[in-house]
Amino acid sequence: MESVYRTHFATDCTKELVGQTVTLNGWVQKNRDLGGLLFIDLRDRSGIIQVVFDPDVSPEALEIASKIGREYVIAVTGKVVARAPENVNPKIPTGEIEIQADQIHIFNPAKTPPFPIEDRTDVDEAVRLKHRYLDLRRPKMQETMMIRHKAMQSIRRFLDQHGFIEMETPILTRSTPEGARDYLVPSRVNKGSFYALPQSPQLFKQLFMVAGMERYFQFARCFRDEDLRADRQPEFTQVDIEASFIPREQFLSMMEELMKTLFKEVIQVDIPTPFPRLTYQEAMEKYGSDKPDLRFGMELINLSQILRDTSFKVFASVIAGGGQVKAINVKGCANWSRKEIDNWGKVAESLGAKGLAWLAFKEEGVKGSVAKFLSESEIEAIRREAKAETGDLLFFVADRPEVVADVLGELRLRLGNHLGLIDPNVYRFAWITEFPLLEYDAEDGRYYAKHHPFTAPVEEDIPLLETNPDQVRAHAYDMVLNGYEIGGGSSRIFRREIQELMFKTLGISQEEAKEKFGFLLEAFEYGAPPHGGIALGFDRIVMLLAGRQNLRECIAFPKTNSASCLMTEAPSPVDRKQLDELGLSVKNE
Amino acid sequence: MESVYRTHFATDCTKELVGQTVTLNGWVQKNRDLGGLLFIDLRDRSGIIQVVFDPDVSPEALEIASKIGREYVIAVTGKVVARAPENVNPKIPTGEIEIQADQIHIFNPAKTPPFPIEDRTDVDEAVRLKHRYLDLRRPKMQETMMIRHKAMQSIRRFLDQHGFIEMETPILTRSTPEGARDYLVPSRVNKGSFYALPQSPQLFKQLFMVAGMERYFQFARCFRDEDLRADRQPEFTQVDIEASFIPREQFLSMMEELMKTLFKEVIQVDIPTPFPRLTYQEAMEKYGSDKPDLRFGMELINLSQILRDTSFKVFASVIAGGGQVKAINVKGCANWSRKEIDNWGKVAESLGAKGLAWLAFKEEGVKGSVAKFLSESEIEAIRREAKAETGDLLFFVADRPEVVADVLGELRLRLGNHLGLIDPNVYRFAWITEFPLLEYDAEDGRYYAKHHPFTAPVEEDIPLLETNPDQVRAHAYDMVLNGYEIGGGSSRIFRREIQELMFKTLGISQEEAKEKFGFLLEAFEYGAPPHGGIALGFDRIVMLLAGRQNLRECIAFPKTNSASCLMTEAPSPVDRKQLDELGLSVKNE
């Protein structure tokens, strides 16, 4: 072997190369004896190729090859030969050829891995995370990492072409009063002081606008010390984008083009633009969610008007008390068994409903838990409103609007899944707009900003800030896809008088505002342009592009729900000396 | 004005647009009255354009414009008109035209900034850092940020095209025993435990190779809690690159192509390849530095052999004691005054020399501090060795080799600068190779790895590990440019027996190795490929591309030498509640 290093990747070896001598490098996927021959499946990043060791070609190579095992790292030199037609394997790109080895070199032996390097594995996730370097060898993980890479390049290329400048913001920064809990980093030079890891570069991105950079982006690492849910990570990556002097419509359509380009380039899917838009109100009304999955219908139907005067007390009293009666139409399921329907009732209760009423439009007539309480004309009105046909099943929830939305929204998703109504190969984007600017906190007796206090109100609602704050809509927009919020943005307040009005509405005094947001407010006095932007959840976008179910599958070295890394065993105790240098001590509890 | 938003950037407005109506957005650079007209220089990210307000065109616009000041954010609509030939300003791209304004809109007023938004400013750096959002408005800073952006895109494009996959590694990770001090992040969930911020993704990049990713890169944020020197930052960005199954020569030439492409694309400079190579020994011998500035000569001349038997005791005793006598030839400076020469002597002493001897080859003969102590034949031999001509001045240092290298190496740089020998528009790359693998620490009585304990030794030196560890050369290479180390890399140890030999040489027991590097060593048992890589200092590369003198000029929001941010005032005290949640207390000292 002149050089042991590869001349070709596995999948470079096609029928066109038959007769050529190549050197391949990679890992042994499997090896098997067959009629005096030894077959090795060699795996590299490109894929898998079959190598044959034949005593008539090289007994020396066969001798060495016979001693190696799975995951050995080897180099093989040999001739590309066509397989006999009956041996062609159409499942792999190299299936028409094989390599007739005449030399082999062992770079490194390998212990038997704790789980096979294959997509199908039932091994516990904890074992996979502990040996992440082996888990990442599995084809699906390699593909996901490749999709992540391609997505990064595609987004960057698009933003670069549209005049956005990539700029980095500090990781060691200042604790900001923005909601979630900060990760802190003690300062050694300035003992007793702390840096904070950024929850997002929000203030820095706005400062870039004040600095006249006009169009900025960054793949920003963000940190939140929250109690983790299944689809959260303590550190995550967001595509942070901000622009000045661009009308909102132009910015939104630019973001639509970004996603269109991304999905086309990475997974060859055409995304129609413009994206449909729903106001927050509409989304909550129709889907019980501000991140609706639009791949299927089964919209929530509001029957409160129709049933306002019903003699059925349960419904009537809910409606009279400011609540709602809403239903979903489960098409074609009128014949579900009582048991099946009861099971869905239990689901509804576990989601917070007091109960799940139902009506089944059967051939033989209308049945159901509320059939006998409703008049014929009410049932007819419901049938019309719900576009119910014979064979359809209606589920009803009567409760406060929030509960109705939560329960029917989630029930809709689960029923959609259960009934196979959700096509995993379809991508339905939408913008959700006109979020409420403020939320009232009854406990504190004051309003809080729903996003952050720099989100601009819709112009025509500005007068309402002083009279009806809860009716003020924000100039905010979420990008949703298939039931996930994948981005959130807004136009920002850039004029001082609006900002002051906002603080006044929030009950924040001038002194308090200065203490909390001082340097940003000062910056805004030196000529802030009109600006706005968006933050895209990159990990989640990769998850959707790769068709994965879990954020951990889309991050090379993720953390568990208790924010630890099973491979490195971070976090870990440190030397007393290190704490002494920081002037800190750990309290014994 | 239909819309106040821009139709064009300032520098889009060229002579071709004369007669068209455009809307521009930006900041007021300056405004001045002239003969009843008002002129405003409007600045946006693209550049500056002149806007004229004329009472005959729009008295209303003139009225508004007359009330605005510097750094106001405005929109202007008007016609592009050609300037009269005598008014053409060839210094700016828009100098042939101006905008005849008929409408103006004020987005935002501005307070007068604490320093003018111009490149030439003598304002204190602390003021600039406090108001970084204004400092970043200055053209030179915008240009530097743009170069940084372009460099990022260029490097990514190249690596993507060469099959490297961009992957992210954790920022919240485990404290690693690698030399510098870690920044720590206390864990709330696991009180008393800490994450560490990565000093580099070294272990993760090697794990990617074990994982079969084969070619990886990342713009990685790295952190070191060191006492800072002028050109260090607590957080910095490195281009982290690692590859498997690539011969070293091929990898180095790929990195040369990367730099060639980068300099061509970003600053249109042709870099010749291959880069010259110097061994560490050669670099130290000729330039007294392992990061030589090769833009000029003035190499160090070793005279120890020639002067070994000199009767001049000072030189002779140094040489006899294992020291060196070396000189540099300061061409054409024989006529420097005594005072001038003495000043350089003081510089040499401040750098650690006991003194600076000199010889001047004047028309009238050889003068100098050591002229009378050296024989005529010695002086002749020196003249020949130093290629000294009449008019040349030689500076000598006699001392231990390290001192000679330090002093003459630095003196060479300062003289080069002083004499204008260093062309700022020239870029001289080189590889420095064959670094020593190990350094002996007399205090601890043991060897330490000069880079890290995973750097591979040169194959033929492996037997020396057990006999002459100090003679073992590393398979390490630094990329240097104009006197800066801009990258460092190596082939890594990937075979277990070599790694064990390395630990043995370092006096690290198996148990200790397992405790310190456990998960990496375990990973290496499952089939590690031959691999190696490099880390490029991105901030410094931007500094050289942009022709800046200081890393802080190349980072959007840098920290001071005491690791603080003057704008956000990070680090800062935090609430007791936050510390309580982390189970920490600050010691009063």
Query: CA A8, CA B312: separation in Å to the nearest integer?
Result: 65
Residues A298-332 as b or e (16 or more Cβ within 10 Å = b): bbbbbbbebbeebebebbbebbeeebbbbbbbbbe
Domain residues for the domain of A314 are: 296-422
| Nearest by Cα to A524 from A478, A493, A553 | A493
- pLDDT tens-digit map of A74-126: 999 999 999 999 999 999 899 999 999 999 999 999 999 999 999 887 899 99
Query: CA B50, CA B38: separation in Å to the nearest integer?
Result: 10
pLDDT (0 to 100) of residue B12: 96
| Nearest by Cα to B206 from B183, B233, B232, B178 | B178
Contacts of A389 (CB under 8 A, 6+ apart): A331, A361
Contact B557 A204 (CB under 8 A): yes
For A25, nearest residue in chain B (alpha carbons): B245
Contacts of B567 (CB under 8 A, 6+ apart): A519, B129, B130, B131, B132, B133, B557
- Residues from chain A that touch B149, judged by Cβ atoms under 8 A, are 160, 165-167
Name the residue facing B527 among A108, A556, A584 (closest C-beta): A108
Q: In terms of domains, do B418 and B557 share one?
A: no
Q: In terms of domains, do B318 and B250 share one?
A: no
Distance between A281 CA and the closest CA of chain B, angstroms: 29
Distance between B549 CA and the closest CA of chain A, angstroms: 20
Does residue A499 form part of some domain? no
Query: CA B10, CA B471: separation in Å to the nearest integer?
Result: 62
Interstrand relation of A235-244 and A215-223 (parallel, antiparallel or unpaired): antiparallel
Query: CA A533, CA A106: separation in Å to the nearest integer?
Result: 53
Does residue A350 form part of some domain? yes
Of the candidates A372, A391, A422, which is a domain's last residue? A422
Contact B190 A564 (CB under 8 A): yes
Contact B572 A174 (CB under 8 A): yes
**Percent helix, strand and coil across chain A, each rounded to 5?**
35, 25, 40
Contact A245 B587 (CB under 8 A): no
Distance between A367 CA and the closest CA of chain B, angstroms: 53
Does residue A101 form part of some domain? yes
For A249, nearest residue in chain B (alpha carbons): B5
Scan for tokens 């420095």, then name that residue.
B432
Residue-by-residue DSSP string for B202-214 = HHHHHHHHHTT--
pLDDT (0 to 100) of residue B1: 47
Instruction: Check the annotation: does A122 bind a ligand.
Output: no
Query: CA B207, CA B520: separation in Å to the nearest integer?
Result: 7
Cβ-based contacts under 8 A for chains A and B = 343
ipTM for the complex shown: 0.94
pLDDT (0 to 100) of residue B103: 97
Does residue B521 form part of some domain? no
Q: Which of B195, B241, B246, B522 to mutate to test the interface with A (most CBs of A within 10 A)?
A: B195
Q: In terms of domains, do B81 and B156 share one?
A: no
- Residues from chain B that touch A562, judged by Cβ atoms under 8 A, are 189-190
Distance between A275 CA and the closest CA of chain B, angstroms: 23
Query: CA A211, CA B556: separation in Å to the nearest integer?
Result: 10
Scan for tokens 């090769």, then name that residue.
B294
Q: In terms of domains, do A340 and A392 share one?
A: yes
Q: How far from B557 is each of A205, A520, A541, A581, B499, CA to CA, in Å?
A: 11, 14, 29, 26, 41
The pair phi, psi for residue B546, each rounded to 5°, is -90, -5
pLDDT (0 to 100) of residue A162: 97
CATH number of the domain to which A534 belongs: 3.30.930.10
CA atoms within a 13 Å half-sphere pointing along the CA-CB vector of B438 = 25
Beta bridge partners of B140: none
Q: In terms of domains, do B265 and B301 share one?
A: no
Name the residue facing A156 among B156, B203, B530 (closest C-beta): B156
| Nearest by Cα to A61 from A48, A84, A80, A78 | A78
| Nearest by Cα to B311 from B361, B248, B375 | B375
For A145, nearest residue in chain B (alpha carbons): B167
Query: CA A387, CA A411: separation in Å to the nearest integer?
Result: 19
Instruction: Check the annotation: does A538 bind a ligand.
Output: yes
Q: In terms of domains, do B100 and B131 share one?
A: no
Q: Which two tokens stand for residue A105?
A: 């070199």
Does residue B519 form part of some domain? no
Does residue A227 form part of some domain? yes
Q: Are B558 and B551 in contact (CB under 8 A)?
A: yes
Does residue B371 form part of some domain? yes
Q: Report chain A (589 residues): mean pLDDT per 10 consecutive residues.
A: 87 95 97 94 96 96 95 97 93 94 96 91 91 96 97 98 98 80 94 94 95 98 85 93 96 98 98 98 97 97 95 95 97 96 97 96 95 95 97 97 97 98 97 94 85 90 91 96 97 89 87 82 94 97 96 95 93 90 83
Q: In terms of domains, do A271 and A222 share one?
A: yes
- Residues from chain A that touch B523, judged by Cβ atoms under 8 A, are 131, 133
Q: In terms of domains, do A219 and A302 share one?
A: no
Q: In terms of domains, do A259 and A131 share one?
A: yes
Distance between A70 CA and the closest CA of chain B, angstroms: 9
Q: In terms of domains, do B80 and B201 share one?
A: no
Q: Are B348 and B384 in contact (CB under 8 A)?
A: no
Interstrand relation of B393-399 and B324-330 (parallel, antiparallel or unpaired): antiparallel
Contact A145 B213 (CB under 8 A): yes
CATH number of the domain to which A78 belongs: 2.40.50.140
Scan for tokens 């006197």, then name that residue.
B483
pLDDT (0 to 100) of residue B145: 98
Contact A183 B185 (CB under 8 A): yes
For A190, nearest residue in chain B (alpha carbons): B571
Instruction: Check the annotation: does A410 bind a ligand.
Output: no
Contact B153 A166 (CB under 8 A): yes
Name the residue facing A586 among B156, B168, B192 (closest C-beta): B192
Name the residue facing B145 among A165, A582, A587 (closest C-beta): A165
Q: Which two tokens stand for residue A425?
A: 């190969």
Contact A196 B152 (CB under 8 A): no
Q: In terms of domains, do A225 and A140 share one?
A: yes
Q: Which of B31, B41, B112, B133 to mutate to test the interface with A (most CBs of A within 10 A)?
A: B133
Q: In terms of domains, do B270 and B147 share one?
A: yes
- Residues from chain B that touch A71, judged by Cβ atoms under 8 A, are 526-527
Q: Is the peptide bond before B571 cis (omega within 30 degrees of 0)?
A: yes
Total tally of structural domains belonging to chain B? 3
CATH number of the domain to which B365 belongs: 3.30.1360.30
Binding-site entries of B for ATP: 224-226, 233, 485, 537-540
Please state the three-class secondary structure of A341-368 as a single string.
Answer: HHHHHHHHHHCCCCCCEEEEEECCEEEC
Does residue B517 form part of some domain? no
Q: Kindly give the parts of chain B with pLDDT less than 70.
A: 1-2, 177-178, 229-230, 588-589
> How many residues are listed for chain B in this entry?
589
Query: CA A303, CA A319: separation in Å to the nearest integer?
Result: 10
Residue B34: strand, helix, or coil: strand
Name the residue facing A71 among B146, B197, B527 (closest C-beta): B527
